[in-house]
Amino acid sequence: MKENEQFQPLNDKRLESWKEIAAFLQRDVRTVKRWEKSEGLPVHRHQHQARSTVYAYPSELDAWRSKRQPAEEVSPGWFERQPARALALAAMLLLLLVSAGSSLNPTAATAAQNEGTVNRLVWSGSLVDVLGAPSPDGKYLALTDWETGNLAIRETSTGTIRRLTDNGDWNGWAEFPVPSPDGKSIAYAWFNRRAQFELRIFSFEASAARVVYAHDEVDYALPFAWTSDGTHILASLARSDRKHQIALINTADGSARILKTLDWRSPQKMVLSPDDRYVAYDFPRKEDSPERDIFLLATDGSHEELLVAHPDDDMVVGWTPDGKNLIFASDRAGRMGIWALSVADGKAQEPPHLIRPGVPLMRAMGITRQGELYYSVRTGASDVYVASLDAKTTAVLSQPVPLSPHFVGWNRSPDWSGDGMSVAYASQRDPSQRAGGMGERIVVRSLVSGGEREITPRLATMGGLVRWSPDSRYFLVHGRDAKGRSGFFQLSAETGEATLVVREELPGYFQCQAWSPDGKSFFYLRTTPQASNRLRVHNMKSGEDRQVFDRAINNLAVSPDGRRVVVRYGDPKDKAEVLTIVPVNGGEARELLRVREPQGLPGWSGLAWTPDGKNIFFTLTHAGSRPDLFQLWRISSEGGTPHNTGIAMKGLRDLRTNRDGQRVVFSAGQNESEIWVMENFLPALKATK
């Protein structure tokens, strides 16, 4: 065994022959042998043997496939994306070369055809919103305008975007809009001042919105579909007691008819049958497993069926327009594909059959009356980078390079070990779980050996930052456990066992945690109905939790001595963004830097102290040139003129400096997306029967 082989991921089972390698890639042996010679397929050979025998690691094959330039010989497909603010929803792949984050050129690939199926690009760019849905006739996309947070539509024929609401400078925002059957109204979730989501309907005829449903015991009302007559909205209700309910909301009086009450978990997608008789939804049967099956619930409450049961993952896509088939995605064939199940009177009529193979589905946006499937494609990527610095001058000695060659495009949120010899980061290593932002692992990479070790968090979900304790024994993460409790958890760096430290009380949420240098406490931001993003400090031993700074901020970094915190906030009166140093134990905050347009201090981006506490790194953008390009700057912690380090990358964030002051590690890249439409894929149903 070579020296570095012992550091392969524990679940990266070696493929021991050409046959196993070909089976993993779902190709014949001749093809994979050709790929090794012509395209650098990472195949290893045993040495000191008379005959050459080969082996390969799945992680290396996945990384190779993600960067491969020739298009795969499969039916083009569709994929996933994650949303902002801990809503992580998913991204999707147009071709398998995108599966690990490779970029697509929308002008070069505006249509792909296979057996009559056409994939057509609908929308690309930095403002793409994949959380909405198409109108039933496909004439517009309902969406959130993420520049303002308002509800909007985008005409599919012209690309014109029109805002429908006015939230008064982010005084609330819209999410998950769903057009009505006649296309004249849109149901959507609206985040209000009480840190709760209420269900609203916008009417094109009245050019106004109204609240349909809001309840003090419901933190989130998420619409999924309308009944065919427009009188009810199928919604998922997230209650304050952490239970979820499937409900039909009356659009006239706002009354809710509860169809089913679930535990802390919720359906990923729900669809109404065209005759309004059934709700199909996906849901994990086992509390400790993320794999989903598909259930069929009668809207009259008479019965429920386990419609699709399989050990692998199954996700609802939608009904065919005639209501005779339920379309879903499954990885049961070894790779995500589109499947169809014939359904009549709430019963499956035959086993499901594959209608589009090799399509790694992440999130489908909706099927129109014409049978067109709208879906999103992930064109951006997130990776972890490391760069060298001069410890005395903080000058950059080397430009950033990727930290790890594995799972390219799916790595984020790095942090240094206490001894500065390793980096831990979050990595999404299970393609079947990328749809819901689930299944992330923490990976520890040694900068000495280059080896990696995976840690599986014993949590139902994990999101946000990964922060390593100063003694390297624990990670502090935000997540939710199997009992439905959400908040900050302390994870064992050896076993991944999770201990709840601070429980999140809804409505409201936590984010942006950072350890104190002695590891006895940590800082974080808390949002409540009364105040958003307040800086707090929590004592790990005593449990004392107190507020440090009474202002809405969106980034923080703790000084090496633990006595100060640098924060970033916006000043709407001056239309400026500000860096301020806040003393932890009382005293006046001191403004460090004020930035006005066309420059900006992007929120949730890079912010870190040098180990000696004399300088602070931050990121800066310029609206007049490349607003998506984040430049890394530094400024003395005493103030003065800031200096450009020369590092500039898209989406640079999560900056962390090593204890020796000679290296920085950070995340970069953005989860950009495209929206495509798949046409003429349903006729395949006839051909497969």
Alpha-carbon distance values, 56 to 7, 30, 62 (Å): 14, 16, 11
For 60-99, letters b (16+ CB in 10 Å) and e give bbbbbbbebeeebebbbbbbbbbbeebebbbbbbbbbbbb
Q: What is the mean pLDDT of residues 514-530?
A: 94
Both 549 and 640 in a single domain?
yes
Return the pLDDT at 684.
63
Greatest CA separation for the chain: 81
Return the pLDDT at 177.
97
Alpha-carbon distance values, 480 to 128, 270, 282 (Å): 29, 22, 19
Where does the pLDDT of residue 331 fall: very low under 50, low under 70, confident under 90, or very high at 90 and above? confident
Both 660 and 549 in a single domain?
yes
Q: Rounded to 5 degrees, what are φ and ψ at 336?
A: -60, 135
Both 355 and 245 in a single domain?
no
Return the pLDDT at 685.
66
Q: Rounded to 5 degrees, what are φ and ψ at 48?
A: 60, 35
Return the pLDDT at 434.
55
Report the 3 state secondary structure along 213-229: ECCCCEEEEEEEEECCC
Both 359 and 327 in a single domain?
yes
Q: How far apart are CA 518 and CA 423, in angstroms?
A: 19
**What would the pLDDT profile of 112-142 be if each residue is shown by its tens digit?**
444 578 888 899 876 888 899 999 999 999 9
Q: How far apart are CA 57 and CA 38, in angstroms?
A: 19
**What spatial distance separates the first Cα and last Cα of the chain, rounded to whole Å?**
50
Helix (H) or strand (E) holding 294: strand 292-298
Q: What is the mean pLDDT of residues 643-651?
A: 92
Among the listed residues 613, 619, 687, 607, the one whose alpha carbon sits nearest the alpha carbon of residue 647: 619
**What would the pLDDT profile of 142-159 be if each residue is shown by its tens digit?**
999 988 889 999 999 999
**What would the pLDDT profile of 384-426 be if each residue is shown by its tens digit?**
999 999 988 888 898 999 999 988 888 999 999 999 999 999 9
Both 216 and 150 in a single domain?
yes
Picking from 266, 288, 303, the residue at the C-terminal end of a domain is 266
Q: What is the mean pLDDT of residues 454-467?
A: 91
> Is residue 481 scored above 70 in pLDDT?
yes
431: left (phi over 0), alpha (psi -120 to 50) or beta: alpha
For 244-276, letters b (16+ CB in 10 Å) and e give bbbbbbebeeeebeebbeeebbbbbbbbbbbeb
* 573 Cα distance to chain centroid: 33
Both 283 and 307 in a single domain?
yes
439: left (phi over 0), alpha (psi -120 to 50) or beta: left
Q: Which residues contact 464 (CB under 8 A, 6 or more apart)?
A: 86, 413, 477, 478, 511, 512, 513
Helix (H) or strand (E) holding 480: strand 474-480
C-alpha R_g of the chain: 25
Q: Are residues 580 and 590 in contact, defined by beta-carbon separation less than 8 angstroms?
A: yes
Query: How many CB atoms are located within 10 Å of the residue 185 CB?
Result: 21
Full DSSP string of 374-402: EEEEE---BEEEEEEE-TTT--EEEEEEE
Both 688 and 660 in a single domain?
no
Picking from 233, 249, 266, the residue at the C-terminal end of a domain is 266
Amino acid identity of residue 270, one-letter, is M
Q: How far apart are CA 458 and CA 192, in angstroms?
A: 33
Q: Where are the beta strands (DSSP E) in 345-460?
A: 347-348, 353-356, 364-367, 373-378, 383-389, 396-402, 411-416, 422-428, 440-446, 452-455
For 555-571, letters b (16+ CB in 10 Å) and e give bbbbbeebebbbbbbbe
Q: How far apart are CA 245 and CA 261, in angstroms?
A: 4
Classify burial at 354, counting beta carbons within 10 Å of its beta carbon; exposed 0-12, middle 13-18, buried 19 or more.
middle
Residue 160 is encoded by which pair of tokens?
């014109």
**What would the pLDDT profile of 546-567 be if each residue is shown by its tens digit?**
999 999 999 999 999 999 999 9
Q: Are residues 514 and 532 in contact, defined by beta-carbon separation less than 8 angstroms?
A: no
Q: Are residues 284 and 268 in contact, defined by beta-carbon separation less than 8 angstroms?
A: no
Q: How far apart are CA 74 and CA 336, in angstroms?
A: 12
Q: How far apart are CA 314 and CA 309, in angstroms?
A: 8
Q: Are residues 93 and 378 in contact, defined by beta-carbon separation less than 8 angstroms?
A: yes
User: Beta partners for 503?
Assistant: 487
For residue 11, the domain's CATH number is 1.10.10
Both 556 and 582 in a single domain?
yes
Q: Hey, what's the torsion of the CAs at 55, 58, 63, 64, to 10 degrees?
A: 40
Q: What is the mean pLDDT of residues 235-243?
A: 88
* 580 Cα distance to chain centroid: 30
Alpha-carbon distance values, 587 to 51, 200, 495, 506 (Å): 74, 44, 41, 31
**What would the pLDDT profile of 29-42 be if each residue is shown by its tens digit?**
767 776 776 677 88
Query: How many CB atoms are located within 10 Å of the residue 401 CB?
Result: 9
Both 619 and 639 in a single domain?
yes
User: Beta partners for 634?
Assistant: 617, 643
Q: How far apart are CA 63 and CA 41, in angstroms?
A: 10
Q: List the domain range (segments joined by +) for residue 499.
A: 383-670
Residue 213 is encoded by which pair of tokens?
């449903």
Q: How far apart are CA 460 and CA 485, in angstroms?
A: 10
Return the pLDDT at 213.
96
For residue 191, the domain's CATH number is 2.130.10.10
Both 391 and 443 in a single domain?
yes
Q: Where are the beta strands (DSSP E) in 540-672?
A: 545-549, 555-558, 564-571, 576-583, 590-596, 599-600, 607-609, 615-622, 629-636, 643-650, 653-657, 663-668
Return the pLDDT at 172.
82
Instruction: Domain count for the chain, please give it.
Output: 4
Q: Hey, what's the torsion of the CAs at 168, 170, 176, 177, to 10 degrees?
A: 20
Where does the pLDDT of residue 193 fall: very low under 50, low under 70, confident under 90, or very high at 90 and above? low
> Is residue 626 scored above 90 in pLDDT?
no
pTM of the model: 0.71
Both 339 and 226 in a single domain?
no
Both 251 and 312 in a single domain?
no
